[in-house]
Structure 1
């Protein structure tokens, strides 16, 4: 600790890091200064110290699958290489039997504890499709948590059904939905969304749907997709909006910063973003996430999906406490050709052990299942 203290005195963000060690929340201006600072290693040391104080030398993960139930989408986000327009030869939508088969195989082979359900904005799917799927999973596989549908997918269902998003959430919860992933947030600043996803819900709509979910007792993850057309000030605003909602609802279980992968996307074709921002940027985002959400959002995920296992190992020492999921069957990021986008539980266990940490397998709600 004394080694950290010496370095803090000479750092351009030393005062902020000192406050963080005293559990004082960074302000908007502090967050902006952290984002501008190059002192990533020191931020990581402080964030890592705060994380170890809370969790010890331990990291968690969940055995899960991603169920990308349809790639049919009418939202045409420029950062997505996964979607297909309705009627496209490569478009698909899984039937209830196909969903059951995938979940059953994953339970039999991997004893998964979570199914992460996400897909395109498919105008042909009414709410019963989702209700039937959730009911089936909860009834036949009671130990598997249903973590599903981004705020923008909820909005799409509400428009198809001509009802409120709160009514949709309430019905889906009754059918077996247990928590909401944070997708669709990207950067919660509309001038950014207007460039990368002009047809998607606005920042305020994302926040409102998340608040409705929290009010119904549906906890959620919050995410941030960085490394495209956003400014540092936009990132600071994103953090601030999530802080404000979390102070009000306490509904976010985890925060997941992940870097944009431009391969095969419209943003690359239009020369908006030519390549990803790289590992150092990830470590900075992980560290700042821990400092900003310290005492507010308990879990920070390591983001191995877009940055690889090696970076995720370092992220665990820079403020992350959770490795995330095995993501068997992932199809969205893999469409960018980024890298192999699934792991086995054993590979994650080995990766965490390699850095001298204990491994806790968890369930959908971050409760321990077993130690490895």
Structure 2
């Protein structure tokens, strides 16, 4: 660290980075200074050091599929190219047999360890649809973890059932839901949500449902979708809300920052966002995420889905420790024409080995399965 220490001394964020090396996480005003700083490489050196201190020269990944069970949605988010209105010609909802076939094929071909279940806000689906799907997966594929449903989907089910979100979570857990993804957070500031997703749940509702999820024993991931209409203060607020909830519940296993991809979305059509933010901003967000959550949320994902393999390799050196999943069958981001939105485990393993890291295949709960 001697060379890094020397560089830190000359930096305008010297005090923040020195505090991070002493185990003191940045406060809100520090996060704002990090976001305003151009010293991305130095942030990465410190964040990478903190990550290696915890995980060594090792990165993990999960063999998984994304099961986009329906594209029917009444939320009309401007950042989404996937959804279709009820009754649209190309709308769909998978049957239980369809779901079983997809999971079985993926397990037989790829030995998946996780199915990530996400779809639209479909008002015609009752809770039994989800319960039947989760029970079937857990009974027939016991090695496959069920990681599913955003907080906004939980809210939709509660509205359909005229029930509380906590009751819905309890029933889904009983049926086999094991963890919940962070989708629906976007940026946890309502002034942003009013522009990009006015019909979706509020920031407070996202936090409340995540809190309830953790309280009934369903851990999860936290996410942030940046690079649209938010400003640095909004990002600080997002980080601060995640920190506060994690300090209360310790229910987040991972944090995943990813950049908005505008192609084929209303936000691009309306001229709100013309293009994505690019690689430097990804590395900055990865590095800041590690600094903010060091010792609080263990895992930071590399975000290859919207940034590609090369940037994900760099992200592993800027504070990320997990490559993410293979994401076989992903349909949401692919609707933006972003790039290939699935990888085989071999491609991920090779990519991690190329930067001199050891590879650990993990399960749904970040437990190691095997070293590759």
Q: TM-score, normalised by structure 1?
A: 1.00
Distance in 1, matches of 2:222 and 2:128, equals 26
Residue equivalent to 2:341: 341
**Structure 1 residue 99, shift from structure 2 partner:** 0.1
State the distance in 2 between where 1:50 and 1:131 align.
Answer: 40
Q: Show the counterpart of 2:251.
A: 251
1:103 aligns with 103
- Counterpart Cα distance in 2 of 1:139 and 1:37: 50
* 1:222 matched to 2:222: yes
Q: Over residues 22-59 of structure 1, what are the superposed CA-to-partner deviations in whole Å (9 max), with x where a residue is unaligned?
A: 01010000000000000000000000000000000000
Q: How many residues align?
A: 372
Taking the aligned partners of 1:105 and 1:314, their CA distance within structure 2 comes to: 33
Q: 1:291-317, CA deviations, whole angstroms, 9 ceiling, x for partnerless residues?
A: 000000000000000000000000000
Distance 2:255 2:99 in 1: 27
Corresponding residue for 1:317? Answer: 317
In 2: Cα distance, 1:293 partner to 1:281 partner? 18
List aligned pairs for 1:59-98, cutoff 5 A.
Answer: 59-98=59-98
Q: Which structure 2 residues correspond to residues 182-261 of structure 1 after superposition, within 5 A? A: 182-261=182-261
Paired with 1:14 and 1:308, the residues of 2 have a C-alpha distance of 31
Render the CA deviation track for 1:50-77: whole Å, top value 9, x for unaligned.
0000000000000000000000000000
Where in structure 1 are there 5+ consecutive unaligned residues? none
What is the SS of the residue equivalent to 1:316? helix
User: Tell me, which stretches of 5 or more residues in structure 2 are unaligned?
Assistant: none
Counterpart mapping for 1:1-372 below 5 A: 1-372=1-372
- How far off is 1:12 after superposition? 0.6
Q: Within 2, Cα distance between the matches of 1:114 and 1:338?
A: 23
Q: State the alpha-carbon separation in 1 of the partners of residues 69 and 289 from structure 2.
A: 30
Within 2, Cα distance between the matches of 1:306 and 1:107?
25
Paired with 2:194 and 2:18, the residues of 1 have a C-alpha distance of 37
Partner Cα separation in structure 1 for residue 97 and residue 255 of structure 2: 33
Structure 1 runs of 4+ off > 3 angstroms? none
Instruction: Output the CA distance in 1 between the equivalents of 2:89 and 2:369.
Output: 42
In structure 2, distance between residues paired with 1:32 and 1:287: 14
Q: Give, in whole Å, the separation in 1 of the partners of 2:85 and 2:199.
A: 14
Structure 2 counterpart SS, 1:361? strand
> How big is the alpha-carbon RMSD for the aligned residues of Structure 1 and Structure 2?
0.2
